[in-house]
Amino acid sequence: MYGSFYEKIKRIPSILLLLMTKKTLLLLTFNEINGSEALYDKIPFNLFDEIYVIDGNSSDGTIDFWKEKGHNVIIQKIPGRGAAFVEGVEITTGEHILFFSPDGNEDPEDIPKLLDTLEGDCDLVIASRFMKGSKSDDATCFRRFGNNMFTFLVNLFFRAKVRDAVNGFRAIKRDKFDKLNLPPSKFEIEFQMTARAGKLKYTIIEIPTHEKDRIGGYSKAGSFSVGFSYIKVLFREIFIGKRFLKGDNKDE
Ligand SMILES: Nc1nc2c(ncn2[C@@H]2O[C@H](COP(=O)(O)OP(=O)(O)OP(=O)(O)O)[C@@H](O)[C@H]2O)c(=O)[nH]1
Ligand SMILES: [Mg+2]
């Protein structure tokens, strides 16, 4: 009896720590007015202590939409989705950061699952489109093949042990993100994040997701140019090993 009472008392500090963990929602937008309008009411903002929209200088009303809703909108200085990740994280202060892109591909219903998973013994959690229980309405055969091939290579060279190395719907602990020292790239950011996380033996957990079709607007990620940039990143990451860690040459 005393044993179990003592066990409960012992757990209080870690439960308090979890309750005190500051959570950030970082929304990435670039001309996503249709998706923003359609998804707004489905996003569980109440789960977060801090919300930022990092925008690539939209011209379709996305910026005004989020401002009118009362959110902090930051216009990124360097163009590109990767730059949005890096600049976005810099302005936020939460210990757990979840990235969400409101274009329709990512299901807001997965947000609580991603947050819960990150609270455990996990450094990076990815919503996977290609594991048991997942589905993708958006990935063409060509994209699916490309994603699987690059995921295979990340697992082969960096031991990431994932099924979807490139999906941007993910959450990470701030200290773990900072350690990766990622450069402000374009669409290669997630691929590079997973590769470096593998190198540092991070605990990466995936949850199955259902990727839906984009809601409106247009795609900014051309399959060929993204594939080419992944190949460049792959060679570079093989070459530099762990020389991206602070104290070594910063990878610009
Ligand atoms: N802040 C910011 N967001 C961006 C930028 N480029 C793309 N995004 C956002 O990142 C998300 C993913 O970009 P998409 O163009 O949809 O790429 P994708 O999901 O591979 O392409 P689709 O399958 O056509 O949706 C979207 O919400 C975009 O608005 C950028 O330069 N800056
Ligand atoms: Mg998309």
Are β-strands 96-100 and 23-29 bridged in parallel, bridged antiparallel, or unpaired? parallel
Does pTM top 0.75 for this prediction?
yes
Residues in CB range of 13: below 8 A, 6 or more apart: none
pLDDT grade for 252, boundaries at 50, 70 and 90: very low
- Cα 218 to averaged position of ligand 2 atoms, centre (Å): 8
Secondary structure of the chain: what % helix, strand, coil (to 5)? 45, 15, 35
Mean pLDDT of 225-243: 97
Q: Model confidence over 120-164: pLDDT tens digits?
A: 999 999 999 999 999 999 888 999 999 999 999 999 999 999 999
Distance 104 CA to ligand 2 centre (A): 7
Share of residues in the chain with pLDDT > 90 (%): 85
Beta strand ranges found along 110-173 (DSSP E): 124-128, 135-136, 170-173
Is the domain 2-240 a CATH 3.20.20.370 member? no
Which tens digit of pLDDT belongs to each residue from 14-47?
655 666 899 999 999 999 999 999 999 999 999 9
CA distances from 191 to 176, 220, 226 (A): 16, 17, 10
* Ligand with an atom nearest the CA of residue 167: 1
Phi–psi pair at 229, nearest 5 degrees: -70, -30
Where along the chain do its domains lie? 2-240
Burial bucket for residue 229 (CB in 10 Å: 0-12, 13-18, 19+): buried
Closest ligand 1 atom to Cα of 76 = 1
